Amino acid sequence: ETGVTQTPRHLVMGMTNKKSLKCEQHLGHNAMYWYKQSAKKPLELMFVYSLEERVENNSVPSRFSPECPNSSHLFLHLHTLQPEDSALYLCASSQPAGYGYTFGSGTRLTVV
């Protein structure tokens, strides 16, 4: 484990379902991120939270809803997803830039 824990590791959901991805870090970092990685595509930044405030939303569809209740936990709430949303979703955390980023193992999401 890297210090950033993501659950579940795998998720299969229907297009009408509602599910949530969870990310937890106890590294003392104060910034957390959601990235999406689709097959054969580069990593795409979805959301950035710094000190529990959202500072970046890269034009992500509203069917993805992030939540950061405290500096150690980050959620990604999913509803009415599309098959093209199937991807590996990665969570990361960092101190302010200069100290590097730590990534979780990811959640492999399949939308059917």
Partner 1 sequence: KQEVTQIPAALSVPEGENLVLNCSFTDSAIYNLQWFRQDPGKGLTSLLLIQSSQREQTSGRLNASLDKSSGRSTLYIAASQPGDSATYLCAVPPNFGNEKLTFGTGTRLTIIP
- Nearest residue to 90 via CA among 27, 56, 49, 44: 44
Q: Is there binding between residue 15 and partner 1 (CB under 8 A)?
A: no
What CA–CA distance (Å, rounded) separates 25 from 34? 13
Q: Are residues 27 and 92 in contact, defined by beta-carbon separation less than 8 angstroms?
A: no
Residues 58-87 contacting partner 1, CB under 8 A: none
- Nearest residue to 67 via CA among 78, 58, 83: 78
Minimum CB distance to partner 1, residue 56 (Å): 7
Identity of the residue, 70 or 97, whose beta carbon is nearer to partner 1 in the bound complex: 97
The 64-70 sheet, strands edge to edge: 4-7, 18-25, 73-79, 64-70
Q: Is there binding between residue 105 and partner 1 (CB under 8 A)?
A: yes
Among 21, 90, 109, 111, binds partner 1 (CB under 8 A): 90
Q: Which stretch binds partner 1 (CB under 8 A): 14-22, 68-76, 78-86, 99-107?
A: 99-107
Binding site for partner 1 (CB under 8 A): 2, 6, 31, 33, 42-43, 45, 48, 50, 55-56, 88, 90, 92, 94, 96-106, 108
